[in-house]
Structure 1
Amino acid sequence: MTIMTNRTEVTEFILLGLTNDPCLQLPLFITFLLIYIITLMGNLGMILLIVLDSRLHTAMYIFLGNLSLVDLCYSSAVTPTVMTGLLLGDKVISYNDCAAQMFFFFGAFATVENYLLASMAYDRYAAVCKPLHYATIMTTSVYIWLITGSYVISFMSASIHIADIFTFSFCKSNEVHHFFCDVPAIMALTCFDNQVRELVLLYIESLDVFFALIVICTSYMLIFVTILKMHSASGHHKSISTCASHFTAVSIFHGTAIFMYLQPSSSHSMDTDKVTSVFYTMVIPMMNPLVYNLRNKEVKNALKKLILHY
C-alpha cells in the first residue's frame, strides 16, 4: 500500500476470513474440501450425463446443464481461495484479483443463474400450461436465445457494475471483513459517503433480481391455476413433480440473494453476511444437482443406464 497525502491507494486486500481460531481452521478446511468435491462431482456428472444421453437433449435438460456449469464456475471463483486461506494462512489478494473474483462470482455467474432460473420457469410454464404446443413454443432456437441472452446480459451488467464499484477510492483500510471479495464488504472500505452511487448499484441489483422474479412468479401463478383446473390426481402429481425441483432451487437462491444484497450497506452485519455467504457460495452449488437428481426419474434412469453401460 502506498501512502498519498491523507489517502491510501490500495494495491491489495487482506481477507480476514471466517475465523482466526487455529482450532477451527483445519475442520473448516476439511468441511469445505468435501463440499467442493461433491460440488465438482455433482455438477460435472450432471453435465456429462446430459451430453452423453440423447434422451436428455431437450430444453429442460439443456437449461439444467448450463445451471450446473454456472454453479461449478461461481463456486470455483470463491471456494479454492477460502481453502487456501484456511490451510496456508494466505489471506492477501491483489486489487485486480479481488475485482476479477467479484466479477466472476457476483457479477457474472450468479446473475447468469438468476436469469437461467427465470428461463426454466418459463419452460415449466410452457410444459404444464401449454403441453400440446410445448414443442412449438420451446423450439431449439428459443431456448438457445434464452441461454445466450442470460450470459450476454449478465456479463455486460457485470462489467458495468464491477467497473463502477472499483472506481471508488478505498482509504479506510485494506482489510476485508469477509472470506472473499463480496460487494457489501468492499463497499464498506470506500472513502466517502457514496449514498447516491450505492443506491444506483442497489437499483441495478434489484432490477436483475426482480425482473427474474416477476417472470418466475408469473409463470408459477399460471402453473398453479392450471393445476387447480386439473381433474385427475395423476395430472396434479405429475405437474407438481415437474416443478418441485425448480421451485426449491428458486426459493433457496433468491431467498439468500435478497437477504444479502437488496439492503443498504448500513443494514449489513458482516458476521451474519459471512455465515450466509458460506451457504450461497458453497452449499447452493452443491445442492442444486442433488435436488434435481433425487427428484427426477429421467436423470436417475439415465444415470443407471450410464453406470450399467460402463
Structure 2
Amino acid sequence: MDKKVVLITGCSSGIGLSLAVRLASDPNREYKVYATMRNLAKKERLLECVKGLHKDTLEILQMDVTDQQSILNAKEMVVEEQVDILVCNAGVGLMGPLEVQSLDSMRQILDVNLLGTIQTIQAFLPGMKAQGQGRILVTGSTGGLHGLPFNELYCASKFAIEGACESMAVLLQHFNIHVSLIECGPVNTDFLVNLQKSELGDMSLQQADTRTLSLYEKYLQHCGFVFQNAAQDTEDIVKVFLDAIQSSNPSFRYFTCGDIPPLIKLKITEPDGSAYISAMSKIIFSDADQ
C-alpha cells in the first residue's frame, strides 16, 4: 500500500515536531512525513526524538513560509511529487501594548501566520486539485475566534486565517479536498519561549501610559496562571490532529479542549457582544482597579 504523503510546517518544536514524530512512527507505516522548518540548525531535537529509526518514513526539509522560493524548493524535494495531507502549523506570537509595537514586528506576524499559511497552501493546492483529493489542516487558535487584549496583531492574523480557511472549504469540497482548523487554546510548547513579548521594564513600554501598564501587568499574571493550570500538552493536540487526519468525513473545525469554550459560545449566542466583552474583562482584569 502506498504511503500517504504528509508535509508539515513548523516542525522544529511543539505541535509540529510531535505530530511529525507520531505520523512517522505509525506502526502500520501508512505515512511518509516531510517535516519542514525555517532553520535546519534546530533539527537536532526532531532527530533525537526519532533516533534515526524512520529513514523511509521521515524527511526533514528547510522551508521558510514567508519565502515563496523556499516553499517551492521544498515542494521540489518531495520525491512522490504529490502531497496528500498538508499541515500548516508554523506560527508566531506578539504580545504587548499596541502603541509600542513596531511596524516591522506587526508585519512579521502577518507574514508568518497569515500570508505564510496562504502561500504554502497556494503551492500545494494545484497538485491536490489535479489528483482529485487532499487534506489541509491548519493550526488555528481560540484567539482567532475571540479577541485577547495585548494580542491584537496575533488575533488579527488568526481571525484572518479563519476567514481564509472557511472561504477555501466552501470551494474545495468540489475537488474532494477537506479543510480543517484545529482550534488550540494554551499549549505547553516553545511558543511562549519564542513569543515576541514586551517585558515589564522594557524601554519601549515607556511609550505606554501608566493605566495601560497596570492592565498589562495584570494580563501577564493572568497568562501565567492559565498556562500553569490549564495548558494542554502537545500530545493532547496531536490526538486531535490524528482524529482529523484519519476521519473519513472530517469536520471543518476541531476544538482541542473538546467542546466549544464557554466564552466563544457566549460570543456566538449573545446579540451585541457586550456580555462577552464584560465577561472577558472580568476574567482577565478582576481586581485591576483595586
Between structures 1 and 2, the one with greater strand share: 2
Could you tell me the TM-score, scaled by structure 1's length? 0.27
Could you tell me the TM-score, scaled by structure 2's length? 0.29
